[in-house]
């Protein structure tokens, strides 16, 4: 969906969360980094409606606490399919 090719157009990045504009670099970093700094986690968008299991499946190669994962996106609802496909591919 977003991270299979690790190259996003600005439109694809914007569609991740309509309330916030993500640069392709932000999304790329989100999907390829194994550790995200607090700034990197809070700088993108926030997912407020994810269960801990859905958060875990967001990027299995990442080490995000549940708080960090919830900080990713607050005002957009992602379906579990969108969440799962957000970062299913490993670099």
The answer for residues whose C-beta is within 8 angstroms of residue 84's C-beta and 6 or more apart is 54, 57, 58
**Domain assignment of residue 63, yes or no:** yes
> For 43-91, how does the pLDDT look when each residue is reduced to its tens digit (9 = 90+)?
444 444 444 444 444 544 444 444 444 445 433 444 444 544 554 443 3
**Domain assignment of residue 2, yes or no:** no
- Count Cβ atoms within 10 A of the Cβ of residue 43 and give its class: 0-12 exposed, 13-18 middle, 19 or more buried: middle
Phi, psi torsion values for 69, nearest 5 degrees: -65, -40
pTM of the model: 0.22
**Domain assignment of residue 61, yes or no:** yes
**Domain assignment of residue 91, yes or no:** no
Residue 71: CA count within 13 A, CB half-sphere: 14
Rounded CA separation 45/8 (Å)? 16
**Domain assignment of residue 5, yes or no:** no
Task: Supply the DSSP symbol for 24.
Answer: H
Q: For position 30, what pLDDT does the model report?
A: 53
**Domain assignment of residue 4, yes or no:** no
**Domain assignment of residue 81, yes or no:** yes
Q: For position 86, what pLDDT does the model report?
A: 52
Domain that holds residue 57: 10-86
Count of structural domains, the chain? 1
Rounded CA separation 3/89 (Å)? 7
């Amino acid at each position: 969906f977003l991270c299979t090719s690790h190259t996003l157009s600005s439109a694809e990045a914007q569609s991740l969360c309509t309330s916030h504009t993500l640069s392709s670099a932000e999304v790329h970093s989100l999907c390829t980094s194994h550790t995200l700094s607090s700034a990197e986690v809070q700088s993108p968008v926030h997912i407020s409606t994810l269960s801990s299991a859905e958060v875990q499946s967001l990027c299995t190669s990442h080490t995000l606490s549940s708080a960090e994962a919830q900080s990713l996106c607050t005002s957009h609802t992602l379906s579990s399919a969108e969440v799962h496909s957000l970062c299913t591919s490993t670099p």
